[in-house]
Chains A and B, each alone.
Chain A
Amino acid sequence: MRYKQVIDSSALLSGLRVAVTGGTSGLGLALVRRLHAAGARVAFVARDADRVRRVAAGHGGIYGIVGDVANKDDIHPIALQIAGELGGLDVLVNNASDLGPVPLALLGDTECEDLERALATNVLGPFRLTKTLLGALASSAREGRGAIVLNISSDAAVNAYPRWGAYGASKAALAHMSRIWDAELAAEGIRFLAADPGDMDTPMHAAAVPDADPASLKRPETAADELIGLICETLAERMRTAPSSPAAVRQGGAA
């Protein structure tokens, strides 16, 4: 939060090319709407064609893409549309997640297929989509535009909560992979972040903890704003290290 006071987020977000997976509900939907409102060009991915159409309807600058990140054959068509419609990519948010068994189950009671699905959505999907879009992100970094991959993690990736085994183990793998990506691609200028948005009032949380009091939960819009703040901080930090970048020029060297 060091740079918070000096970051002009509208200058950073205006025209930023962002892709969000799982963009038709919960945190993903809030991210799509908030980023778009802040001037970003946002492509989002979700499985249900009708819901994709509804979210994208009437918004120039929001690009809805139908696909399932857990499905290997969908990855390149998704990446083609993201990089095609946005003309490249500055920020990828791997947000689409699968809880594993619903209702939640002890690991010993978890069906292998439920764990496989959680791993496919929460680990393999983000890995494949990130790998496929790495070229676009590296190009963005070379042009001084951005290049951030934000992986949505969870406190279940760190703490051993009973009944959260499939989800927690998959999110732990995603978070650790983020750190390795970050170490390997720092020289290319691509930053990887794993962030825990907290317990939110979303359809996923309702499926996991049906009797939770919504009033005790964070609104997804609040979490989205915090994550957008994190993106802005990271962009601002990058500008400090690459002062000739277009974003730095727009920002007038504020940081």
Chain B
Amino acid sequence: MKAADLPQQRPAHAKLLILDADGAIAHAPRAAFANLLRAGDLVVANDASTLPASLHGTHVTSGAPIEVRLAGRRSLAAEDVRRFAAVIFGAGDFRTRTEERPLPPALLPGDRLALGPLSAIVEETLGHPRLAALRFDGNAKTVWAGLARHGKPIQYAHVREPLRLWDVWTPIAGAPAAFEPPSAGFAIDWSVLREIRARGAEFATLTHAAGISSTGDAALDRRLPFDEPYRIPPATAAAVERARARGGRVIAIGTTVVRALEHAASSRGRVRAGAGLATQRIGPETRLRVVDAILSGTHEAGTSHYELLRAFTDDAALERVSAALEADGYRTHEFGDSMFIERRGGQRDETRWWSRSFFDWARSSQHRLMSA
């Protein structure tokens, strides 16, 4: 697929591929998304705004230039912004594809990083030369002010212009929590919210720290998605309960919403309100307990986003989807076209949860396998 290279959240020509519960494919303008809704449905979106998570600076010990991309955090608490997991690149900027970016200088615990007005220390390395746990100096106030002044949103080599925060904040963006934009939400503006209501559907949000979508490093990308903290408001858990009770569909706007709702789901499909840390991977073995359909970007086979779609439908259907996307000139990545995929009727019964916590990684340097 062709990459969407203009930072336009809602281009008039944006397309939507629809794969329904019977495996049939249809096409629509994405602006007509609300027409897919039925009375009683619940639409759930991620209201995280996007952090300016890219920080250029220097590895003080060696004097070498680096780019730090904040990539993980243990909680969404406003004060808990001193410690992050980060992906670190050597010299250069986003105009070089991440695949070709040099490694940073060898990082050791105790190394200092100077990042504009911010300074940080490497607490530990996390099993890969590009991945480290950092601690910023100062307090939460210092970090928020420093990020606001010096941070830039994570940039993409396939987008021509440098992205500003206004390019990556969705219309409904609230508390800053995401490392890259929850870009499925680009489709939802204030006018669409009205249409959702007009169709007799409900709208709710959760906050999920959408992580880095790719690092350009195959070994690191295999560890994606990292652990992601989330928060589900009681009102949203109650809305899920209501939708299920009346037989409405729960429609997730984006993969992060699926990850949070399914992580907080009980075996009976009840969603626990409150804070959590999503550690699982969602793939073909996952039995979805809550989410009935997803509005998502167009994803290519092999990515963690594509793996998640395999929980919704079978591989044969996804192969037909991929062929249709290619044939119809759909565009991919953050600012690209969209897909609406309904879950095939409950044929899955096996549940397996993988947990790959990078905070645990340093301790065990092994995958943990948990069964839920």
Contacts of A84 in B (CB 8 A): 78, 81, 144, 147-148, 175-176
| Chain A residue nearest to B143 in the complex (CB) | A84
Q: Is the CB of A87 within 8 A of B171?
A: no
* Segment with Cβ contacts to A, from B92-100, B190-198, B216-224, B348-356: B190-198
Given contacts A80-B176, A81-B145, contact A132 B194 (CB under 8 A): no
Task: Given A76-B169, A187-B194, A188-B193, decide whether A81 and B205 contact each other with a Cβ distance below 8 A.
Answer: no
Taking a contact as CB atoms under 8 Å apart, the answer to whether A80 and B174 are in contact is no
Establish whether residues A187 and B197, one from each chain, have CB atoms under 8 Å apart when the complex forms: yes
Measured between beta carbons, the chain B residues less than 8 angstroms from A137 are 174
- Of B190, B193, B205, chain A has the most CB atoms within 10 Å of the CB of B190
**A111 on the interface (CB 8 Å rule)?**
no
Question: Which residues on B sit within 8 Å (CB–CB) of A80?
Answer: 49, 51-52, 144, 147-148, 165, 176
Q: Is B2 engaged at the interface, CB distance under 8 Å to the other chain?
A: no
Which residues in A have their C-beta under 8 angstroms from that of B320? none
Q: Contact flags (1/0) for A124-164 with B, using CB distance below 8 Å?
A: 00000000101111111011100000000000000000000
User: Once bound together, how far apart are the Cα atoms of A136 and B48, in whole Å?
Assistant: 9
Taking the closest CB of chain A, its distance from the CB of B189, in whole angstroms, is: 10
Main secondary structure of the interface of B (DSSP, over half): mixed
CB-based contact B49/A142 at 8 Å: no
Interface: A184 (CB within 8 A): yes
Contacts of A143 in B (CB 8 A): 233-235
Does B357 lie at the interface of the complex (its beta carbon under 8 Å from any beta carbon of A)?
no
| Contact digits for B197-237, partner A, Cβ 8 Å, 1 yes 0 no | 10000001101000000000000000000000000011110
Q: Are A85 and B172 closer than 8 Å at their CB atoms?
A: no
Contact of A88 with B by CB under 8 A? yes
In the complex, A17 Cα to B119 Cα: how many Å?
A: 29
Structural contact, A136 and B148, CB atoms closer than 8 A: no
Question: Does B334 count as interface, using CB distance less than 8 angstroms?
Answer: no
Which chain B residues (87-112) contact chain A, with CB distance < 8 Å? none
The dominant DSSP class at the A interface is helix
Query: Does B361 have its Cβ within 8 Å of any Cβ on chain A?
Result: no
Indicate whether A86 reaches chain B with its CB closer than 8 angstroms. Answer: yes
Q: Does B145 contact A83, Cβ atoms closer than 8 Å? A: no
Asked if B149 is an interface residue, CB under 8 A from chain A, the answer is yes
Tell me whether A167 is interfacial, beta carbon within 8 Å: no
**CB interface residues, B 150-186, toward A, < 8 Å:** 164-166, 169-176
Q: Which residue of B lies closest to A76 (CB)?
A: B165
Chain B contact patch, size range: 35 or more
Candidates A78, A87, A132, A187; contact of B175 at CB < 8 Å? A87
Question: Does the CB pair B149–A142 fall under 8 Å?
Answer: no
Using CB atoms, name the residue of chain B closest to A187.
Answer: B197
| Residue A63 at the chain B interface, CB threshold 8 Å | yes
Q: Verify if B369 is at the interface (C-beta below 8 Å from A).
A: no
Check: B3 CB closer than 8 A to any chain A CB. no
Residues of B within 8 A of A139 (CB): 47, 172, 174-175, 205, 207, 233
| Cβ contacts B2-42/A at 8 Å (1 or 0 each) | 00000000000000000000000000000000000000000
Asked if A77 is at the interface of the complex by the 8 Å CB criterion, the answer is yes
> Which residues in window 168-208 of A have CB below 8 A to B?
184-185, 187-188
Query: How far apart are A130's CB and chain B's nearest CB, in angstroms?
Result: 12
A contact residues around B171 at 8 Å (CB): 134-135
- In contact, A184 and B190 (Cβ under 8 angstroms): yes
In the assembled complex, which residues on chain A have CB atoms less than 8 Å from the CB atom of B148? 77-78, 80-81, 84
In the complex, whether B140 has a CB less than 8 A from a CB of chain A is yes
User: Cα distance A124–B75 when bound, in Å?
Assistant: 35
Are A138 and B172 closer than 8 Å at their CB atoms?
Answer: yes
Give the distance in Å from the alpha carbon of A185 to the alpha carbon of B191 in the complex.
Answer: 10
**Is the beta-carbon distance between B169 and A142 smaller than 8 angstroms?**
no
Q: Which of B170, B175, B197 has the most A CB atoms < 10 Å from its CB? A: B175
Establish whether residues A135 and B176, one from each chain, have CB atoms under 8 Å apart when the complex forms.
Answer: no
Could you list some 18 contacts between A and B, CB below 8 A? A76-B164, A81-B144, A81-B148, A83-B174, A83-B175, A83-B176, A84-B81, A84-B147, A84-B176, A85-B78, A85-B140, A87-B77, A135-B169, A139-B207, A139-B233, A142-B204, A142-B236, A187-B197
Given A143-B233, A144-B235, 20 more A-B residue pairs with CB atoms under 8 Å apart are A80-B52, A80-B148, A83-B49, A84-B148, A84-B176, A87-B78, A88-B174, A135-B47, A135-B49, A135-B169, A135-B172, A136-B174, A137-B174, A138-B47, A138-B174, A139-B47, A142-B236, A184-B190, A187-B193, A187-B197
Chain B residues in the interface with A (C-beta under 8 A): 47, 49, 51-52, 76-78, 81, 140-141, 144-145, 147-149, 164-166, 169-176, 190, 193-194, 197, 204-205, 207, 233-236
